[in-house]
Amino acid sequence: MFNLEKLKDNNAIFWIFRFPEFREIAASCGWAIAVHGSAVHDLDLMAMPWVENHTTADELVQRLADTEQPKFRRPYVKSKPGDKPNNRIVYTIFVGDTYIDLNVIEPQPSLRSCIEKKQVIDMKELTIEQKAASLVKQEFEIGDVITNGTLVGEIDEIHELGYHAYFGDHYADVPDIENWHKWTLKDVKDGDILCSGQIILLFKKWESDDWNFAIAHAGIDVSGKLQITDKHWLISNQAHLATREQRHFLIKTMTAAGYTFDFEKKELKKTLQEFMGWSKEDENEVAILEAYIRSKEWSESHIIRALGIVEELVNKAKSVGSKPAWKPTEEQIKALEWQAANTSEGSW
Protein backbone atom coordinates (compact mmCIF):
# COMPACT_ATOMS: atom_id res chain seq x y z
CA MET A 1 0.00 0.00 0.00
CA PHE A 2 0.93 3.66 0.07
CA ASN A 3 3.94 4.69 2.15
CA LEU A 4 2.30 7.39 4.26
CA GLU A 5 5.59 8.30 6.01
CA LYS A 6 6.86 9.88 2.82
CA LEU A 7 3.79 11.90 1.82
CA LYS A 8 5.59 15.23 2.06
CA ASP A 9 8.39 14.24 -0.28
CA ASN A 10 6.65 12.26 -3.00
CA ASN A 11 3.57 11.85 -5.21
CA ALA A 12 1.71 9.41 -2.95
CA ILE A 13 -0.81 12.01 -1.76
CA PHE A 14 -1.64 12.70 -5.42
CA TRP A 15 -2.21 9.02 -6.12
CA ILE A 16 -4.38 8.56 -3.01
CA PHE A 17 -6.90 11.00 -4.46
CA ARG A 18 -6.69 9.66 -8.01
CA PHE A 19 -6.71 5.89 -7.33
CA PRO A 20 -10.49 5.57 -6.58
CA GLU A 21 -11.23 7.15 -9.95
CA PHE A 22 -8.91 4.69 -11.71
CA ARG A 23 -10.52 1.77 -9.87
CA GLU A 24 -14.02 2.80 -10.99
CA ILE A 25 -12.90 3.09 -14.60
CA ALA A 26 -11.29 -0.34 -14.44
CA ALA A 27 -14.46 -1.85 -12.97
CA SER A 28 -16.57 -0.35 -15.76
CA CYS A 29 -14.23 -2.11 -18.20
CA GLY A 30 -14.54 -5.46 -16.39
CA TRP A 31 -11.11 -5.27 -14.76
CA ALA A 32 -9.81 -5.14 -11.19
CA ILE A 33 -6.69 -3.14 -10.32
CA ALA A 34 -4.48 -3.05 -7.23
CA VAL A 35 -1.54 -0.97 -6.09
CA HIS A 36 1.90 -2.55 -6.25
CA GLY A 37 4.80 -0.57 -4.82
CA SER A 38 5.27 2.51 -2.66
CA ALA A 39 3.89 5.17 -5.06
CA VAL A 40 6.79 7.41 -4.02
CA HIS A 41 7.55 8.50 -7.57
CA ASP A 42 5.20 6.75 -10.01
CA LEU A 43 2.16 4.54 -9.44
CA ASP A 44 2.65 0.81 -10.09
CA LEU A 45 -0.65 -0.98 -10.70
CA MET A 46 -1.58 -4.58 -11.42
CA ALA A 47 -4.66 -5.33 -13.51
CA MET A 48 -6.58 -8.51 -14.09
CA PRO A 49 -9.84 -9.22 -15.94
CA TRP A 50 -12.67 -9.78 -13.43
CA VAL A 51 -15.66 -10.71 -15.58
CA GLU A 52 -16.19 -12.77 -18.72
CA ASN A 53 -17.06 -9.86 -20.99
CA HIS A 54 -14.20 -7.53 -20.18
CA THR A 55 -12.58 -5.03 -22.54
CA THR A 56 -9.13 -5.52 -23.96
CA ALA A 57 -6.16 -4.22 -22.00
CA ASP A 58 -5.57 -1.58 -24.67
CA GLU A 59 -9.12 -0.25 -24.23
CA LEU A 60 -8.72 -0.16 -20.44
CA VAL A 61 -5.46 1.77 -20.75
CA GLN A 62 -6.98 4.25 -23.19
CA ARG A 63 -9.85 4.92 -20.77
CA LEU A 64 -7.34 5.61 -18.00
CA ALA A 65 -5.25 7.86 -20.26
CA ASP A 66 -8.37 9.84 -21.21
CA THR A 67 -8.73 11.05 -17.61
CA GLU A 68 -5.91 13.52 -18.29
CA GLN A 69 -6.92 16.94 -19.60
CA PRO A 70 -6.83 17.01 -23.43
CA LYS A 71 -4.17 19.72 -23.66
CA PHE A 72 -1.83 17.69 -21.41
CA ARG A 73 -2.74 14.26 -22.82
CA ARG A 74 0.09 12.16 -24.29
CA PRO A 75 0.00 8.72 -25.95
CA TYR A 76 0.65 5.82 -23.65
CA VAL A 77 3.67 3.52 -24.15
CA LYS A 78 3.32 -0.26 -24.37
CA SER A 79 6.18 -2.73 -23.82
CA LYS A 80 6.85 -5.38 -26.45
CA PRO A 81 5.73 -9.00 -25.84
CA GLY A 82 8.61 -10.95 -24.35
CA ASP A 83 10.34 -7.93 -22.79
CA LYS A 84 8.99 -8.82 -19.33
CA PRO A 85 8.84 -12.23 -17.55
CA ASN A 86 5.74 -14.46 -17.80
CA ASN A 87 4.40 -12.59 -20.84
CA ARG A 88 3.75 -9.54 -18.67
CA ILE A 89 2.96 -6.34 -20.57
CA VAL A 90 3.65 -2.92 -19.03
CA TYR A 91 1.68 0.14 -20.09
CA THR A 92 3.11 3.55 -19.16
CA ILE A 93 0.34 6.15 -18.84
CA PHE A 94 1.38 9.78 -18.36
CA VAL A 95 -0.61 11.72 -15.74
CA GLY A 96 0.43 15.27 -14.89
CA ASP A 97 4.16 15.40 -14.18
CA THR A 98 4.35 11.72 -13.30
CA TYR A 99 3.09 8.41 -14.70
CA ILE A 100 1.41 5.07 -14.08
CA ASP A 101 3.01 1.70 -14.81
CA LEU A 102 0.11 -0.69 -15.37
CA ASN A 103 1.18 -4.37 -15.39
CA VAL A 104 -1.05 -6.85 -17.21
CA ILE A 105 -0.77 -10.57 -17.95
CA GLU A 106 -3.26 -11.35 -20.69
CA PRO A 107 -5.59 -14.21 -19.62
CA GLN A 108 -5.61 -17.55 -21.41
CA PRO A 109 -8.77 -17.94 -23.49
CA SER A 110 -11.46 -20.13 -21.99
CA LEU A 111 -13.24 -22.90 -23.89
CA ARG A 112 -16.29 -20.68 -24.18
CA SER A 113 -14.32 -17.78 -25.63
CA CYS A 114 -12.60 -20.15 -28.09
CA ILE A 115 -16.00 -21.33 -29.34
CA GLU A 116 -17.21 -17.73 -29.66
CA LYS A 117 -14.01 -16.76 -31.45
CA LYS A 118 -14.52 -19.64 -33.90
CA GLN A 119 -18.04 -18.35 -34.59
CA VAL A 120 -16.68 -14.86 -35.19
CA ILE A 121 -14.07 -16.24 -37.61
CA ASP A 122 -16.77 -18.19 -39.46
CA MET A 123 -18.90 -15.05 -39.70
CA LYS A 124 -15.90 -13.00 -40.86
CA GLU A 125 -15.16 -15.52 -43.60
CA LEU A 126 -18.79 -15.33 -44.71
CA THR A 127 -18.56 -11.56 -44.74
CA ILE A 128 -15.40 -11.74 -46.86
CA GLU A 129 -17.19 -13.99 -49.35
CA GLN A 130 -20.11 -11.55 -49.50
CA LYS A 131 -17.75 -8.61 -49.99
CA ALA A 132 -15.84 -10.52 -52.66
CA ALA A 133 -19.12 -11.15 -54.49
CA SER A 134 -19.91 -7.43 -54.48
CA LEU A 135 -16.40 -6.66 -55.78
CA VAL A 136 -17.08 -8.87 -58.79
CA LYS A 137 -20.07 -6.69 -59.62
CA GLN A 138 -18.27 -3.40 -58.96
CA GLU A 139 -14.79 -3.56 -60.44
CA PHE A 140 -12.45 -0.63 -59.90
CA GLU A 141 -8.71 -0.42 -60.36
CA ILE A 142 -6.00 1.42 -58.46
CA GLY A 143 -5.92 4.98 -59.78
CA ASP A 144 -9.62 5.08 -60.71
CA VAL A 145 -11.46 8.24 -59.61
CA ILE A 146 -14.84 7.29 -58.18
CA THR A 147 -17.83 9.18 -56.79
CA ASN A 148 -21.12 8.53 -55.04
CA GLY A 149 -22.57 11.87 -56.13
CA THR A 150 -21.31 13.67 -53.03
CA LEU A 151 -17.74 12.53 -52.36
CA VAL A 152 -14.94 11.98 -54.86
CA GLY A 153 -11.99 9.70 -54.18
CA GLU A 154 -9.09 8.02 -55.93
CA ILE A 155 -8.59 4.28 -55.38
CA ASP A 156 -5.15 3.63 -53.89
CA GLU A 157 -5.59 0.10 -52.50
CA ILE A 158 -7.75 -2.97 -53.06
CA HIS A 159 -8.08 -5.48 -50.22
CA GLU A 160 -10.21 -8.49 -49.39
CA LEU A 161 -12.99 -6.42 -47.83
CA GLY A 162 -13.21 -3.69 -50.44
CA TYR A 163 -11.47 -0.54 -51.59
CA HIS A 164 -9.33 2.12 -49.95
CA ALA A 165 -9.16 5.62 -51.44
CA TYR A 166 -7.76 9.15 -51.07
CA PHE A 167 -10.52 11.73 -50.59
CA GLY A 168 -8.63 14.99 -51.04
CA ASP A 169 -7.80 15.59 -47.37
CA HIS A 170 -7.79 12.09 -45.88
CA TYR A 171 -7.49 8.37 -46.63
CA ALA A 172 -10.28 5.89 -45.80
CA ASP A 173 -12.04 2.71 -46.86
CA VAL A 174 -14.82 3.25 -49.40
CA PRO A 175 -18.19 2.64 -47.69
CA ASP A 176 -21.20 1.07 -49.45
CA ILE A 177 -19.27 0.37 -52.62
CA GLU A 178 -22.47 -0.49 -54.52
CA ASN A 179 -23.36 3.23 -54.48
CA TRP A 180 -20.15 4.32 -56.23
CA HIS A 181 -19.25 4.61 -59.91
CA LYS A 182 -16.32 5.84 -61.97
CA TRP A 183 -16.17 9.64 -62.15
CA THR A 184 -16.92 11.17 -65.58
CA LEU A 185 -17.42 14.69 -66.88
CA LYS A 186 -21.14 14.25 -66.17
CA ASP A 187 -20.26 14.32 -62.45
CA VAL A 188 -18.42 17.65 -62.45
CA LYS A 189 -20.01 20.30 -60.20
CA ASP A 190 -19.80 24.06 -59.68
CA GLY A 191 -16.55 24.78 -57.83
CA ASP A 192 -14.65 21.72 -59.10
CA ILE A 193 -11.22 22.36 -60.60
CA LEU A 194 -10.65 20.59 -63.93
CA CYS A 195 -7.59 19.98 -66.03
CA SER A 196 -7.95 19.63 -69.80
CA GLY A 197 -4.57 19.39 -71.52
CA GLN A 198 -2.69 22.56 -70.53
CA ILE A 199 -5.85 24.26 -69.29
CA ILE A 200 -6.75 24.45 -65.58
CA LEU A 201 -10.15 25.95 -64.85
CA LEU A 202 -12.47 26.60 -61.92
CA PHE A 203 -15.65 25.07 -63.32
CA LYS A 204 -18.99 26.90 -63.13
CA LYS A 205 -21.41 25.12 -65.48
CA TRP A 206 -21.73 23.39 -68.82
CA GLU A 207 -22.78 25.50 -71.78
CA SER A 208 -24.52 22.53 -73.40
CA ASP A 209 -25.41 18.89 -72.71
CA ASP A 210 -22.58 17.47 -74.81
CA TRP A 211 -19.99 18.29 -72.09
CA ASN A 212 -17.61 19.89 -74.59
CA PHE A 213 -17.92 23.58 -73.73
CA ALA A 214 -17.74 24.86 -70.16
CA ILE A 215 -18.20 28.23 -68.49
CA ALA A 216 -15.71 28.86 -65.70
CA HIS A 217 -15.30 31.30 -62.83
CA ALA A 218 -11.60 31.54 -63.71
CA GLY A 219 -8.93 29.54 -65.45
CA ILE A 220 -5.38 29.35 -66.74
CA ASP A 221 -5.27 29.13 -70.55
CA VAL A 222 -2.79 27.32 -72.81
CA SER A 223 -0.44 30.31 -72.68
CA GLY A 224 -0.29 30.12 -68.89
CA LYS A 225 -2.28 33.33 -68.34
CA LEU A 226 -5.02 33.70 -65.76
CA GLN A 227 -8.45 34.51 -67.25
CA ILE A 228 -11.09 36.00 -64.92
CA THR A 229 -14.15 36.00 -67.19
CA ASP A 230 -17.18 33.86 -67.94
CA LYS A 231 -15.43 32.80 -71.13
CA HIS A 232 -16.25 29.55 -72.87
CA TRP A 233 -13.66 26.79 -72.61
CA LEU A 234 -13.30 23.84 -74.97
CA ILE A 235 -12.99 20.69 -72.83
CA SER A 236 -11.51 17.45 -74.18
CA ASN A 237 -12.94 14.02 -73.44
CA GLN A 238 -9.73 13.29 -71.50
CA ALA A 239 -10.34 16.09 -69.01
CA HIS A 240 -10.05 15.08 -65.37
CA LEU A 241 -10.19 16.54 -61.88
CA ALA A 242 -7.07 18.57 -61.20
CA THR A 243 -4.31 17.09 -59.07
CA ARG A 244 -3.35 18.71 -55.76
CA GLU A 245 -0.42 20.44 -57.47
CA GLN A 246 -2.65 21.79 -60.24
CA ARG A 247 -5.26 22.98 -57.73
CA HIS A 248 -2.62 24.77 -55.66
CA PHE A 249 -1.15 26.37 -58.78
CA LEU A 250 -4.52 27.83 -59.86
CA ILE A 251 -5.43 29.06 -56.37
CA LYS A 252 -1.96 30.56 -55.88
CA THR A 253 -2.15 32.33 -59.26
CA MET A 254 -5.62 33.71 -58.44
CA THR A 255 -4.46 34.90 -55.02
CA ALA A 256 -1.44 36.68 -56.53
CA ALA A 257 -3.80 38.45 -58.94
CA GLY A 258 -6.03 39.57 -56.07
CA TYR A 259 -8.85 37.02 -56.30
CA THR A 260 -10.29 34.44 -53.96
CA PHE A 261 -13.06 31.88 -54.37
CA ASP A 262 -15.67 30.98 -51.74
CA PHE A 263 -16.14 27.24 -52.34
CA GLU A 264 -19.26 27.15 -50.15
CA LYS A 265 -21.09 30.07 -51.78
CA LYS A 266 -19.48 29.44 -55.20
CA GLU A 267 -18.50 33.11 -55.47
CA LEU A 268 -15.39 34.72 -56.95
CA LYS A 269 -14.25 37.77 -55.01
CA LYS A 270 -11.75 40.55 -55.57
CA THR A 271 -9.45 40.83 -52.55
CA LEU A 272 -7.08 43.71 -53.41
CA GLN A 273 -7.82 46.83 -51.36
CA GLU A 274 -8.04 50.27 -52.89
CA PHE A 275 -5.77 53.11 -51.73
CA MET A 276 -7.97 55.24 -49.45
CA GLY A 277 -5.88 58.43 -49.61
CA TRP A 278 -3.90 60.44 -47.05
CA SER A 279 -5.16 60.12 -43.47
CA LYS A 280 -4.70 61.69 -40.04
CA GLU A 281 -2.73 58.62 -39.00
CA ASP A 282 -0.29 59.28 -41.85
CA GLU A 283 0.16 62.87 -40.61
CA ASN A 284 0.99 61.57 -37.11
CA GLU A 285 3.56 59.11 -38.50
CA VAL A 286 5.27 61.88 -40.45
CA ALA A 287 5.38 64.12 -37.35
CA ILE A 288 7.05 61.32 -35.37
CA LEU A 289 9.61 60.80 -38.13
CA GLU A 290 10.40 64.52 -38.33
CA ALA A 291 10.83 64.73 -34.53
CA TYR A 292 13.19 61.75 -34.68
CA ILE A 293 15.30 63.44 -37.39
CA ARG A 294 15.58 66.69 -35.40
CA SER A 295 16.67 64.75 -32.30
CA LYS A 296 19.75 63.35 -34.08
CA GLU A 297 23.14 64.98 -33.55
CA TRP A 298 23.54 65.78 -37.23
CA SER A 299 24.73 68.94 -38.87
CA GLU A 300 22.02 71.45 -39.79
CA SER A 301 22.50 70.74 -43.51
CA HIS A 302 21.96 66.98 -42.97
CA ILE A 303 18.80 67.60 -40.97
CA ILE A 304 17.44 69.97 -43.66
CA ARG A 305 18.21 67.38 -46.35
CA ALA A 306 16.51 64.58 -44.42
CA LEU A 307 13.39 66.66 -43.79
CA GLY A 308 13.36 67.58 -47.49
CA ILE A 309 13.33 63.89 -48.47
CA VAL A 310 10.41 63.27 -46.09
CA GLU A 311 8.52 66.20 -47.59
CA GLU A 312 9.06 64.84 -51.13
CA LEU A 313 7.70 61.45 -50.15
CA VAL A 314 4.67 62.99 -48.42
CA ASN A 315 3.84 65.11 -51.47
CA LYS A 316 4.04 62.06 -53.76
CA ALA A 317 1.74 60.08 -51.47
CA LYS A 318 -0.78 62.90 -51.25
CA SER A 319 -0.77 63.31 -55.03
CA VAL A 320 -2.08 59.75 -55.42
CA GLY A 321 -5.24 60.66 -53.55
CA SER A 322 -8.33 58.51 -53.20
CA LYS A 323 -9.36 57.38 -56.65
CA PRO A 324 -12.51 55.39 -57.49
CA ALA A 325 -12.02 51.92 -58.94
CA TRP A 326 -12.11 51.85 -62.74
CA LYS A 327 -15.12 50.14 -64.23
CA PRO A 328 -15.35 49.28 -67.95
CA THR A 329 -18.29 50.49 -70.00
CA GLU A 330 -20.73 48.01 -71.57
CA GLU A 331 -18.99 48.52 -74.95
CA GLN A 332 -15.60 47.76 -73.41
CA ILE A 333 -16.97 44.61 -71.72
CA LYS A 334 -18.38 43.35 -75.04
CA ALA A 335 -15.04 44.06 -76.75
CA LEU A 336 -13.18 42.13 -74.03
CA GLU A 337 -15.60 39.19 -74.31
CA TRP A 338 -15.21 39.12 -78.10
CA GLN A 339 -11.42 39.17 -77.77
CA ALA A 340 -11.48 36.36 -75.18
CA ALA A 341 -13.71 34.25 -77.42
CA ASN A 342 -11.45 34.61 -80.43
CA THR A 343 -7.99 34.11 -78.95
CA SER A 344 -5.83 31.22 -77.63
CA GLU A 345 -6.43 27.89 -79.30
CA GLY A 346 -8.00 25.35 -76.94
CA SER A 347 -10.39 27.78 -75.20
CA TRP A 348 -13.31 29.88 -76.32
- For residue 4, the model assigns a pLDDT of 41
Residues in the chain: 348
Rounded mean pLDDT of the chain?
A: 76
User: If you write DSSP's letter for every residue of 263-307 in order, what string do you get?
Assistant: TTTTEEEE-PPPP----HHHHHHHHHHHHHHHHS---HHHHHHHH
User: If you write DSSP's letter for every residue of 164-179 in order, what string do you get?
Assistant: EEE-SS-EEEPSSGGG
- For residue 270, the model assigns a pLDDT of 83
pLDDT tens, residue order, the chain (348 aa): 444 444 444 566 677 778 888 899 999 999 998 888 777 778 888 998 988 888 888 898 888 888 776 655 667 788 777 778 878 888 888 877 778 888 988 776 655 555 555 655 555 555 555 555 555 455 788 888 888 888 888 888 888 778 888 887 788 888 888 888 888 888 888 889 888 888 898 888 888 776 678 888 888 888 888 888 766 788 887 888 888 888 888 888 888 888 888 888 888 888 755 555 667 777 777 788 788 778 877 888 888 877 888 787 777 777 665 555 555 566 656 665 665 555 444 333
**CB-CB contact of 220 with 202 (8 Å):** no
Distance CA 142, CA 145 (A): 9
Whole-number Cα distances in Å, 103 to 26, 46, 83, 107: 13, 5, 12, 13
Distance CA 53, CA 59 (A): 13
Class of domain 4-105: alpha beta
- For residue 132, the model assigns a pLDDT of 53
- Give domain limits for the chain: 4-105, 120-182, 185-273, 280-320
Render pLDDT for 281-318 as a digit per residue (tens, 0 to 9). Answer: 777 777 887 887 788 778 888 888 778 887 877 777 77
Strands (E), 151-277: 152-159, 162-166, 171-173, 181-182, 193-196, 199-206, 213-220, 226-227, 232-234, 240-241, 259-262, 267-270
Distance CA 259, CA 228 (A): 9
Stated pTM of the model = 0.40
- For residue 335, the model assigns a pLDDT of 61
